[in-house]
Amino acid sequence: MKAQEEKYIRQRDKLKEEVRCLIGQQHGLVKQLELVDALRQLGLDYHFDSEITNLLSYISSSMENINNLIENNNLYGSALLFRLLREHGINNASILRVDALISCFKKVRESFNPNHQYDVKEMLSLYEASYLAMEGEEELDEAGKFAMEHLRHLDRSLLSPQLIEEIDHALELPLHWRMPRLHSRWFINAYGRQENVNPVLLELAKLDFNIVQCIYKTELKEMSMWWRNLGVCDELDFIRDRLVENYLWALGFTFQPKFWRSRKAITKINSLVTTIDDVYDVYGTLDELEIFTNTVEDWKTDAAQQLPNCMKICMMALFNTMNDIASSFLKEKGLDILPCLKRVWVDLCKAYLIEARWYHNRCTPTLDEYLENAWVTISGICELSAAYCLSDDLNVEALDSLNFYPPIVQHSCMLFRLYNDLGTDTVNMSIFFKYKNAEIQRGDVLKSIQCYMKEKNVSDLAARDYIRYLIRNYWKKLNGENIAFSTSIESFRKALVDVPRTAQSFYQYGDGYGEPDGETKDQIFLIMIEPITL
């Protein structure tokens, strides 16, 4: 088997060089952009980071071709360029302004032909670009809604099966909101059915996906052994055992092989987050949780002697695991990240304690009070801080300048929270009032939807609509911050966007983490278990 894997790796490396020669040598601006977009959607762009950056920088420095797009009312190419530049953090207003894109859209709208496949592709390109909107770009919102409505009401008998499949996939969820690795698995198959498929790209994508999947399998075995040896599940029978789901969560925003260190650490952190969350929600009394929180803040086990044995086991697992992660990184890189890891766990446990007090005191906070605390309790601060501190790009300056917590981190975590609340909330009002929701049964504080219902005296449906409205607004905030955010750790910038994407994939069809037998099981199978047929 190893010889076969080595053969595939050699074959992949050969194809990589062929693709590298293609970048920047495609004739025509739109063809170049389509190649970059295909690499991104196929999950291959991480192999060509510098080449793609150089190409987009070159394109953005040349106004002639860009002006031709706009002057020729090429909405498809203009929207594609706009999306790719924003995805890569290029926001030079002189390159492609929102008003120029809107002007192009208005001209095309006047002559839009729903029976013409190219016109449909223009609407699809505009629709995808609209999800990169920032605050204050209402015209781009309206253009996206226009495109969505036309895509929904097309006469499909006039369209190719491939285009219909692409439209359905986009309307289900825009590309900008999708978990990258999961989308790549779908797109590899969809790309193979396109008329203009590049066979070199397709073969490379399949080989690379399978090679990386083998890495995941090996890492998952290692993580499973760590989890069994930790023995927490043997002692704490009330906690959720979600090791595989925790690994899937980690690879959601660290899928590239070189992020193995972060991926493993985040899997461990996620497992401990679930364990400690259940301690606060299910097991501990309020007095015990006060002691637990203070002990985590001191990072000493002395006071823990007052706690039940299972809570002491949980605390020792936390301390030992974080100390081991920090110690290994110190030996390898000479940087002490333990203070950072401690800080996020202290903040998380303090936020858990606030929720526990609400629950024990039968208090329902206002939505604003809830969200001010809940963006922390969702635990994104732990995963994102690990992604930052365990990066190969981390140096003394980057570690010293770590900010707890800039707006972009808050926006990323807020989206994580809102997706979680939509997925884990019950739809039925009677169920809500009888406290039959699985998380409320466990002792969880009421979620954003119930807080808003009580505060505004509105229906469940109205509350859920409002949370979806907040999700769209926080994506705009995140888009804007991502453009302006300055960091030397580019992988961290990508993780900030991929965290809510991954959360969305878990909670799109319900609680895919708490009850993972449905969609999440299928996702695990597609990403980690079943290779693509070569």
* DSSP codes joined into one string, 315-365: HHHHHHHHHHHHHHHHHHHS---HHHHHHHHHHHHHHHHHHHHHHHTT---
Position 61 scores a pLDDT of 78
Task: Give the type of residue at 181.
Answer: R
Highest mean pLDDT among 272-286, 406-420, 429-443: 406-420
Burial, 459: exposed, middle or buried (Cβ in 10 Å; 0-12, 13-18, 19+)? exposed
Q: What is the dihedral of CA 175, 177, 179, 181, to 10 degrees?
A: 20
Given a contact cutoff of 8 angstroms between Cβ atoms, the answer to whether 147 and 154 are in contact is no
For residue 259, name the pLDDT band (cuts at 50, 70, 90). Answer: very high
* pLDDT value of residue 1: 54
| Cβ–Cβ under 8 Å, residues 205 and 43 | yes
pLDDT for 238 beyond 80: no
Whole-angstrom Cα Rg for the chain: 24
Cα 432 to Cα 41, 425, 451, distances in angstroms: 40, 9, 12
CA distance 219 to 267: 10
Contact of 209 with 255, CB cutoff 8 Å: no
Q: Could you tell me the pLDDT band of residue 438, with boundaries at 50, 70 and 90? A: very low
Q: Flag whether pLDDT at 349 surpasses 90.
A: yes
Q: How many residues does the chain have?
A: 534
Residue identified by tokens 């409205």 is 469
Instruction: Tell me the two tokens of residue 42.
Output: 């196929």
More confident residue, 302 or 357: 357
433-441 average pLDDT score: 40
Quick one: pLDDT at residue 436?
34
Say whether domain 231-529 belongs to CATH 1.10.600.10: yes
Burial 391-426 (b: 16+ CB within 10 A, else e): beebeeebbeebeebeebbbbbbbbbbbbbbbbbbb
Overall pTM surpassing 0.75 (yes/no): yes
8-state DSSP, 255: -
Half-sphere exposure of 459 (CA within 13 A, CB side): 5
pLDDT-based confidence at 431, cuts 50/70/90? very low
Confidence of residue 106 (pLDDT cuts 50, 70, 90): confident
DSSP letter for each residue of 162-196: HHHHHHHHHHHS-GGGS-HHHHHHHHHHHHHTSTT
Asked if pLDDT for residue 395 goes beyond 70, the answer is yes
For residues 198-207, average pLDDT: 97
Please determine, for residue 434, whether its predicted confidence score (pLDDT) is greater than 70: no
Question: What does the alpha-carbon distance between residue 355 and residue 296 come to, in Å, rounded to a whole number?
Answer: 17
According to the 3-state scheme, what is the secondary structure of 67-109? Answer: HHHHHCCCHHHHHHHHHHHHHCCCCCCCCCCHHHHHHHHHHHH
Q: Which amino acid is at 57?
A: S
Element (H, E) at 383: helix 380-389
Asked if residue 331 has pLDDT above 50, the reply is yes
Q: Given this model, what pLDDT does residue 312 score?
A: 92
Nearest residue to 211 via CA among 12, 1, 3: 12
Closest to 126 measured CA to CA, from 111, 141, 110: 141
Residue 219's pLDDT band (cuts 50, 70, 90): very high
Q: How far apart are CA 83 and CA 133, in angstroms?
A: 9
Answer whether residue 145 shows pLDDT above 70: yes
The Cα 183–Cα 168 span in angstroms is 14
CATH superfamily, region 2-205: Terpene synthase, N-terminal domain (1.50.10.130)
Q: What is the mean pLDDT of residues 145-166?
A: 91
**Band of residue 179 on the pLDDT scale cut at 50, 70, 90:** very high
Residue-wise pLDDT for 81-98, tens only, equals: 999 999 988 766 555 678
d(CA 217, CA 181): 15
Residue 200 has pLDDT above 60, yes or no: yes
Binned at pLDDT 50, 70 and 90, residue 115 comes out as: low
Task: Work out the pLDDT band at 441, boundaries 50, 70, 90.
Answer: very low
Rounded distance, CA 16 to CA 450, Å? 51
In the chain, domain spans = 2-205, 231-529
Closest CA to 41 of 127, 128, 123, 101: 128
Residue 428 has what pLDDT?
A: 35
Question: Residue 37 is encoded by which pair of tokens?
Answer: 């977009």
Confidence of residue 245 (pLDDT cuts 50, 70, 90): very high
How far from 276 is each of 215, 304, 352, 437, 503, CA to CA, in Å? Answer: 29, 14, 9, 20, 19
pLDDT of residue 533: 93
For residue 516, what pLDDT is reported? Answer: 65
**Secondary structure class of 517 (helix, strand, coil):** coil
Nearest to 377 by CA among 352, 397, 340, 343: 352
Phi, psi of 23 (to 5 degrees): -65, 125
Beta strands in 307-414 (DSSP E): none
For residue 149, what pLDDT band results from cuts at 50, 70 and 90?
Answer: very high
Comparing CA positions, the residue from 257, 315, 260, 262 lying closest to residue 284 is 315
What is the sign of the dihedral through the CA atoms of 530, 254, 477 and 418? positive
**pLDDT averaged over the chain?**
90
Q: pLDDT-derived band of residue 231, with 50, 70 and 90 as boundaries?
A: confident
pLDDT value of residue 440 = 42
CA–CA separation, 156 vs 495, rounded Å?
A: 37
pLDDT surpassing 70 at residue 370: yes
The tens digit of pLDDT for each residue in 508-529 reads 888 888 776 678 889 999 999 9
Give the model's pLDDT for residue 60: 81
480 within 8 A of 182, measured Cβ to Cβ? no
Please state, in angstroms and rounded to a whole number, the distance separating the CA atoms of residues 13 and 211: 12
pLDDT (0 to 100) of residue 396: 95
Q: What share of the chain is helix, strand, coil (3-state, %, to 5)?
A: 75, 0, 25
pLDDT at 444: 57
